[in-house]
C-alpha cells in the first residue's frame, strides 16, 4: 500500500522533468515581459491568465513529485535537489505575481470592471483578480521584495525542511527496539494499556535528541514571520492568516466563543473515558486515543482490505459516484497507508491537478480512528475531484473551507455506521467520533493558544526549550482543564506537529475547528434534505475557491458570523457526549 507517483514522472532522471522546468521558466519570463509592455487591459489580463495557468500547472506537477517523494523518503537527495531548484525559481514567480497585483491595482475602477465585463475568461476568474488587486496592499516595497524572498530560502524555508527531516528520521527506543517516531506515536491507539504507556514514555524520552534543533526551527520561522508582516502591512500574523483564508475576525471570535462555552462538556467526556480505563484524576495524555468498549469483546480493528471495503460500501450510500471514486483511489494506488522509517507522521491529502488525481498519506494501524482518518483524507480527495476543470486560480480554497469535505466524510461514515448498530458497537462509534471532535476542538484550541503565546513572546526573545514546553502545558491546561490528568500531559506537542513550521502560514490550527463545525452544519442540511442535497453539496465544494468564506457559507444558508450557528453544531456533539456518558454509566453500574 505505497502510492504510485509515476503519473507525474518515471523518476528523477526522467527527461520530462527538465523539459517542464525549462518551460515553466520560459513562461515566467514571457509573463514578466508582458507586464513590462502591456497591451490593452483586457488583452493583457487574458494573456497573463493563460500563461499563468500553464506555468502553475507545470510547477504544481514538479513540486508534487518532489514533495510527495520526500513525504515518504525524507532524505531522498534527488527530491531535495529538485525542491531546492523549485524554491529558488519560486522567487522569480512570486516577483511576477507581485508585479501583476500591482498592475491590476493601478488600473482605474472603470478599466478593471470594463475588462472583466468584456471577457468570459476574466468573468470566470474575477474573484481571483479582485483578490490579487487587494493583495497589492500587502506587498513589500519592490526594492526589498526580491531580497526578502531570497533570504527566506535560507531562513524559514530551510528551517521548515530541517524540521521535517528531524521528525521523519527520529528513532525511538521502544522496549529495546529502534522504531520511527510515527510508529511509536501510532501506538497511542493500541488496545494494550501497557503498550500505550510505554510508547508515550519512550516518545518523551526521545525528544531531547532533537529538542534544541526543533526549538531553533520554531524560533526562526516565527521570527521571520514577525519581520515579514511589517513589510507586508499586516498588524499581526493572525491578520495575515485571516486574509489568506478570506475570513474575518468576527467569524473567528464567534466560533471560539461558542467552543469555549462547550469545553465543560468535552471535559466530562474525557473524565468518563478515564473512569472506564481505571483512572481517577482525569485522563492521562497517553490514553487520549485509547480504544474503549462497554462489552467483553475488544475494540474492533480493521485490515487495510476491510477499511477499503467498508469505505466503498458506506460512502456509496451518499452517492454511488463517491463509492466508485474511493474504490479507484485504493485500486490505483493513490494511498500510502502504513508507517515506516523515513516517512513523515500524521496524514494528509495532496491534489495532483495535472492528472485530476490526489495522493493520500496515512500511518494506518487498524483502529476505527484510522478508518475515520482515511475517510477524512479521501474527503479532501473528493473535494479536489469536485474542483476538476476549474482554473487553478479558483482551486485554492481557503484553509477553513478546505476541511469541509473531509469532516463531512467523517460525519457521514459515523452516521451510517450508527444506524441500527447494537449498543456495544454504537458506543465504539461514538468514542471514535468524540475522540476526533475533542482533538479538533479542544486540542486545536490548545494549539491556537500556544501559537499565540509563542508569537507574542518571540517579539522580545528567542524561546528556550523549557519555555516552549511550559507554554504547551499551560495551553493544554486552559483547553483540556480537569479533563486531563494534570501530571500526565504532553510538553512536546510543539515538536511533533508540523503545522507550526510552515513559513508564511501561521495558525494552521483554527481551520480544523472551523471545518469540523462547518462540516457538521452542512451535514445537518444533508440530513434534512436527503439525496436532493447532493448536487448542492458538490457545487458548494466546487465554489470554495471562488469567494470569501462568509459568501460561500451563505450560498447554503449558513451565517458563520453568528455564534448561534456554531452553538448548533456543538450541541450535536454535546448530545453525543451525553449518550456516551449514559452508555458508560450503564456499563459501569451493571
- Backbone φ, ψ for residue 516 (5° rounding): -60, -50
CA angle 546, 515, 531 (to 5 degrees): 75
CATH code for the domain defined by 304-426+528-562: 1.10.1370.40
Strand (E) or helix (H) holding 264: helix 249-276
Strand (E) or helix (H) holding 482: none
SS3 for 321?
Answer: helix
Candidates 238, 161, 199; CA nearest to 399 is 238
Tell me the pLDDT tens digit for each residue of 21-57: 999 999 999 999 999 999 999 999 999 999 999 999 9
Write down the pLDDT at residue 299. 66
* Cα dihedral 167/169/172/176 (nearest 10): 170
- Backbone φ, ψ for residue 178 (5° rounding): -85, 115
Q: Is the pLDDT of residue 367 over 90?
A: no
Q: Is the pLDDT of residue 298 over 80?
A: no
Write down the pLDDT at residue 246. 93
Q: For residue 169, give the C-alpha cell.
A: 528520521
Q: Is the pLDDT of residue 198 over 70?
A: yes
In the chain, where the domains are located: 15-154, 304-426+528-562
User: Regarding the domain with residue range 15-154, which homologous superfamily does it belong to in the CATH classification?
Assistant: Oligopeptidase f, N-terminal domain (1.20.140.70)
- How far is residue 31's CA from residue 38's CA, in Å, rounded to a whole number? 10
SS3 for 178?
Answer: strand
Candidates 567, 554, 549, 587; CA nearest to 131 is 549
Rounded mean pLDDT, 333-343:
92
Q: Is the pLDDT of residue 576 over 70?
A: yes
Q: Which residues pair with 180 in a beta bridge?
A: 171
- How far is residue 379's CA from residue 180's CA, in Å, rounded to a whole number? 27
Candidates 454, 447, 440; CA nearest to 499 is 447
Q: Is the pLDDT of residue 398 over 80?
A: yes
Output the DSSP codes for 129-144.
HHHHHHHGGGPPPHHH
Sign of CA dihedral 473, 477, 479, 484: positive
Residue with cell 470569501: 548
Write down the pLDDT at residue 549. 95
How many helices (H) and strands (E) the chain has is answered by 26, 5
Residue 212: count of CB within 10 angstroms of its CB = 11
| Distance in Å from the first CA to the final CA of the chain | 43
Please indicate whether the domains covering 15-154 and 304-426+528-562 agree at the CATH topology level: no
Instruction: Give the contacts of 99 (CB within 8 A, at least 6 positions apart).
Output: 32, 35
- Full strand arrangement of the beta sheet holding 348-352: 335-336, 357-361, 348-352
Q: Is the pLDDT of residue 19 over 70?
A: yes
The percent of residues in the chain predicted with pLDDT above 90, rounded, is: 83
Tell me the pLDDT tens digit for each residue of 482-537: 999 999 999 999 999 999 999 989 999 999 999 999 998 899 889 889 999 999 99
Rounded mean pLDDT, 451-458:
98
Write down the pLDDT at residue 95. 93
Rounded mean pLDDT, 70-79:
92
Q: Which residues pair with 350 in a beta bridge?
A: 359
- How far is residue 313's CA from residue 309's CA, in Å, rounded to a whole number? 6
Instruction: Give the contacts of 164 (CB within 8 A, at least 6 positions apart).
Output: 70, 74, 344, 498, 501
Q: CA 557 → CA 31, 536, 584, distances in Å?
A: 40, 11, 37
CB 484 within 8 A of CB 528: no
Strands 177-180 and 171-174: antiparallel
Angle of the 423-438 helix axis to the 368-386 helix axis, nearest 10 = 60
CA angle 308, 312, 318 (to 5 degrees): 150
- How far is residue 9's CA from residue 82's CA, in Å, rounded to a whole number? 13
Residue 565: count of CB within 10 angstroms of its CB = 20
Alpha carbon 590 to its chain's center: 42
Instruction: Give the contacts of 96 (CB within 8 A, at least 6 positions apart).
Output: 28, 31, 32, 35
Residue 587: count of CB within 10 angstroms of its CB = 16
Q: Which residues pair with 177 in a beta bridge?
A: 174
Average pLDDT of the chain is 94
Q: How confident is residue 149, by pLDDT bands cut at 50, 70 and 90?
A: confident
Write down the pLDDT at residue 297. 64
Tell me the pLDDT tens digit for each residue of 75-106: 899 999 999 999 889 989 999 999 999 999 99
Write down the pLDDT at residue 467. 98
Q: For residue 470, give the C-alpha cell.
A: 511550559
Q: Is the pLDDT of residue 277 over 70?
A: yes
Write down the pLDDT at residue 556. 85
SS3 for 557?
Answer: coil
- How far is residue 387's CA from residue 368's CA, in Å, rounded to a whole number? 29
CB 581 within 8 A of CB 272: yes
Amino acid at each position: 500500500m505505497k502510492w504510485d507517483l509515476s503519473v507525474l514522472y518515471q523518476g528523477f532522471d526522467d527527461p520530462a522533468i527538465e523539459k517542464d522546468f525549462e518551460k515553466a521558466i520560459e513562461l515566467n519570463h514571457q509573463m514578466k515581459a508582458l507586464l513590462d509592455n502591456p497591451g490593452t487591459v483586457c488583452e493583457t489580463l487574458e494573456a497573463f491568465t493563460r500563461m499563468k495557468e500553464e506555468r502553475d500547472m507545470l510547477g504544481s506537477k514538479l513540486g508534487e513529485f518532489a514533495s510527495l517523494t520526500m513525504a515518504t523518503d525524507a532524505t531522498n537527495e534527488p527530491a531535495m535537489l529538485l525542491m531546492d531548484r523549485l524554491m529558488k525559481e519560486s522567487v522569480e514567480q512570486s516577483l511576477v505575481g507581485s508585479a501583476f497585483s500591482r498592475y491590476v491595482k493601478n488600473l482605474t475602477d472603470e478599466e478593471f470592471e470594463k475588462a472583466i465585463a468584456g471577457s468570459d475568461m476574466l468573468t470566470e476568474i474575477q474573484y481571483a483578480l479582485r483578490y490579487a488587486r487587494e493583495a497589492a496592499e500587502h506587498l513589500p516595497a519592490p526594492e526589498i521584495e526580491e531580497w526578502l524572498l531570497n533570504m527566506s530560502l535560507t531562513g524559514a524555508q530551510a528551517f521548515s525542511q530541517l524540521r521535517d527531516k528531524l521528525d521523519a528520521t527520529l528513532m525511538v527506543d521502544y522496549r529495546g527496539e529502534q522504531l520511527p517516531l510515527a510508529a511509536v506515536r501510532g501506538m497511542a491507539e493500541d488496545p494494550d494499556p501497557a503498550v500505550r504507556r510505554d510508547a508515550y514514555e519512550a516518545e518523551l524520552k526521545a525528544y531531547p535528541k532533537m529538542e534544541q534543533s526543533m526549538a531553533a526551527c520554531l524560533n526562526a520561522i516565527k521570527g521571520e514571520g514577525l519581520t515579514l508582516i511589517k513589510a507586508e502591512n499586516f498588524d499581526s500574523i493572525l491578520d495575515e492568516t485571516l486574509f489568506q483564508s478570506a475570513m474575518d475576525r468576527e467569524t473567528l471570535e464567534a466560533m471560539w466563543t461558542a467552543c469555549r462555552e462547550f469545553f465543560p462538556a468535552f471535559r466530562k467526556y474525557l473524565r468518563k473515558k478515564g473512569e472506564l480505563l481505571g483512572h481517577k484524576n482525569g485522563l492521562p495524555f497517553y490514553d487520549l486515543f485509547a480504544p474503549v468498549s462497554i462489552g467483553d469483546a475488544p475494540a474492533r480493528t480493521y485490515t487495510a482490505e476491510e477499511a477499503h471495503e467498508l469505505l466503498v460500501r458506506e460512502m456509496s450510500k451518499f452517492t454511488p459516484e463517491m463509492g466508485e471514486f474511493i474504490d479507484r483511489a485504493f485500486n490505483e494506488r493513490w494511498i500510502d497507508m502504513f508507517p515506516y522509517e523515513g516517512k513523515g507522521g500524521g496524514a494528509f491529502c495532496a491534489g495532483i491537478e495535472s492528472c485530476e488525481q490526489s495522493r493520500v498519506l496515512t500511518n494506518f494501524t487498524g483502529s476505527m480512528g484510522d478508518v475515520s482518518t482515511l475517510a477524512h483524507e479521501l474527503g479532501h480527495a473528493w473535494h479536489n475531484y469536485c474542483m476538476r476543470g476549474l482554473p487553478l486560480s479558483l482551486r485554492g480554497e481557503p484553509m477553513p473551507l478546505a476541511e469541509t469535505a473531509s469532516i463531512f466524510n467523517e460525519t457521514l461514515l459515523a452516521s451510517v455506521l450508527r444506524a441500527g448498530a447494537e449498543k456495544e458497537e454504537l458506543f465504539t462509534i461514538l468514542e471514535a467520533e468524540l475522540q476526533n471532535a475533542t482533538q479538533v476542538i479542544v486540542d486545536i484550541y490548545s494549539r491556537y493558544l500556544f501559537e499565540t503565546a509563542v508569537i507574542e513572546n518571540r517579539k522580545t526573545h528567542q524561546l528556550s526549550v523549557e519555555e516552549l514546553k511550559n507554554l504547551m502545558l499551560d495551553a493544554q491546561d486552559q483547553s483540556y482543564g480537569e479533563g486531563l490528568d494534570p501530571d500526565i500531559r504532553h510538553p512536546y506537542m510543539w515538536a511533533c506537529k508540523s503545522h507550526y513550521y510552515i513559513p508564511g502560514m501561521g495558525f494552521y490550527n483554527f481551520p480544523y475547528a472551523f471545518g469540523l463545525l462547518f462540516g457538521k452544519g452542512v451535514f445537518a442540511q444533508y440530513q434534512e434534505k436527503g439525496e436532493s442535497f447532493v448536487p448542492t453539496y458538490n457545487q458548494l465544494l466546487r465554489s470554495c475557491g471562488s469567494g470569501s468564506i462568509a459568501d460561500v457559507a451563505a450560498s447554503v444558508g449558513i451565517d458563520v458570523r453568528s455564534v448561534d450557528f456554531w452553538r448548533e453544531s456543538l450541541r450535536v456533539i454535546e448530545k453525543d457526549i451525553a449518550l456516551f456518558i449514559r452508555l458508560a454509566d450503564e456499563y459501569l453500574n451493571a
